[in-house]
A and B are shown apart, each in its own frame.
Chain A
């Protein structure tokens, strides 16, 4: 550590002598910082300053910068600073510091808050437009890739598609069934609890059946898939992009859309309807279990009521939506994955954006479908 540094000022008639002593190192940098400013204030600005350094015992880049700070503070004006007795062993160190750039760091321009907000709003709007265009162009690229795969079935990545189907479909079955089962239970329980007050117990079955088949089944599964598989797609493609694997594919004459994206999206489009079907069945089963144990409705009656309340149309409405939701999730997650830039932070940001945006678009799509089905009387 060495002895603490000091800087004593002796005011003369023609010059000020500052005597530096002790260890001018990083360990004392905090003290030195205050010491320099304080001592410089004592020294009259119009008289030259001599800094005597022969009693310095230790010097590193921090100490050397402190000396240089005195010199630079007196660079302009008449009272210039001069160094005296710098030990030889520190001369090259000081010269190195002395030769660093002189210009003070540029002051950061601070725009007014309002214009800042407006600029952000504008930037956000433009980015939103670009994003929609990116999704549309990905959809186009996918259609082209499907066209190529039909024209030349050899080029289609069957193994890869099966692999992804296993990951996003088969392995997702247990968690999807469990969650939709629980959701079915909860809806039925809430239905019995509230409908009982005005004696409408019997209609709980209608509510569970229609809600699950038309909306809840497909929505829950799509949201789960966006979180489970969409995020994985984004992270995989993003890290491939970071490691230049995507570029490597391109140089070998393989389109990343064909090799990486088409198998993933096809796997999703196949898996999501299957999971929706299983999920809806599990939810109806859960509703039945609650009806039996909590609502006091025997399974036979529950099934009978279901048969009366439901038609194939309700089932179709849910199932028709599933592949489109899969397409939205797939396109969003792949576009976000390919948008990853070099840094780890960007990978995290894109993965978050992928999940948030695909869930948002799934819900928007669901609303559009509701309008459509109402118009065609389904």
Chain B
């Protein structure tokens, strides 16, 4: 039902595609010292999709994400997030945009001096003027949605396992009902079962809340199961964007070795097996 609604929304929006891009990056150049990390990177992320970004270790994926959310300055190029050019935005506009996105950092980045519940409430306290009772209730709802029980609410971040940390961080990223969520390697460091659960959780939340997800990942399973479109970064450039099928069909050597390498073979032989 929701999928249908999203599909129809997507179909109606294809007409004016540019207005429908949640993230628009054009010719982005980022570097440190005399090293250029990102060289004229261009891509779009459309509303309501799960966009996966892949690239080798050290290829600049995290730098790209941190540039988009404004933690690293860029050298040239332009970026538009949620229809606003962040570099031209005033402090107030920036704050308004920041309220509409959520970020899940690779290590969770939970505030170690706050409890789980306080971590989730932190954005609410910062951005909204809500009664404490409502914040308690909403934080409990968000934590429940990511699968944490009441018993975990008063734990400190140092007492949490890797998977729980990621869940709390996701709940915090979703605290303000954002339209756009950035996920930096959400399944890294999780066992395959936990990673699969986390993928399913992201998909469910994305569908029920109508989120746009920009996700950096190394996890081929995530790419195959939840990403609508994938972008590949190699040598500081986006070498390919499109569906998993178009990645498999790409003749770029890096993309080929990533998606058709030995570790990936389980995935692209699977459809053939099922057909047989």
Contacts and interface: CB of A to CB of B under 8 A. Distances in A.
Interface of A: 25-26, 29-30, 33, 60-62, 65, 69, 88-89, 91-93, 96-97, 100-101, 103, 105-106, 341-346
B145 A106 contact: no
A97 B142 CA distance: 9
Interface string B100-123: 000000000000110000000000
Interface in B61-112: 112
Residue in B158, B204, B207 whose Cβ sees the most chain A Cβ within 10 Å: B158
Given A26-B128, A29-B130, A101-B149, A92 B141 contact: no
Contact of B141 (A30, A65, A346): A65
Nearest to B176: A26
Contacts of B1: 88-89, 91-92
A103 B150 contact: yes
Interface of B: 1-2, 5, 112-113, 128-131, 133-134, 136-138, 140-142, 144-145, 149-150, 153, 156-158, 174, 176-177, 204, 207-209
B95 to A, nearest CB: 14
B140 A101 contact: yes
Contact of A61 (B112, B131, B142, B149): B142
Nearest to B99: A26
Contacts of B140: 100-101, 105
Contacts of A33: 130-131, 133-134
B130 A345 contact: no
B177 A343 contact: no
A92 B128 CA distance: 26
A30 B142 CA distance: 18
A88 B208 CA distance: 12
A92 B136 contact: no
Given A29-B134, A88-B1, A345-B112, A100 B150 contact: no
B14 to A, nearest CB: 19
B117 to A, nearest CB: 9
A185 to B, nearest CB: 43
Mostly helix, strand, loop or mixed at chain A's interface? helix
A196 to B, nearest CB: 55
Nearest to B151: A106
Contacts of A25: 177
B137 A65 contact: yes
Query: 7 closest pairs, A vs B, by CB?
Result: A342-B158, A343-B112, A100-B144, A60-B177, A345-B113, A343-B158, A92-B208
A61 B233 CA distance: 35
A343 B156 contact: yes
B158 A29 contact: no
A240 B219 CA distance: 30
Nearest to A342: B158
Contacts of A92: 1-2, 207-208
Contacts of B112: 342-345
B158 A96 contact: no
Contact of A30 (B128, B137, B207, B208): B128
A89 B2 CA distance: 6
B2 A65 contact: no
Contacts of B144: 100-101
B54 to A, nearest CB: 28
Residue in B134, B149, B157, B176 whose Cβ sees the most chain A Cβ within 10 Å: B134
28 contacts: A25-B177, A29-B128, A29-B134, A29-B138, A30-B128, A33-B131, A61-B138, A61-B177, A62-B138, A65-B141, A88-B1, A88-B5, A89-B2, A89-B5, A91-B1, A92-B2, A92-B207, A93-B208, A96-B145, A97-B141, A100-B144, A100-B145, A101-B140, A103-B150, A105-B136, A341-B158, A342-B112, A343-B156
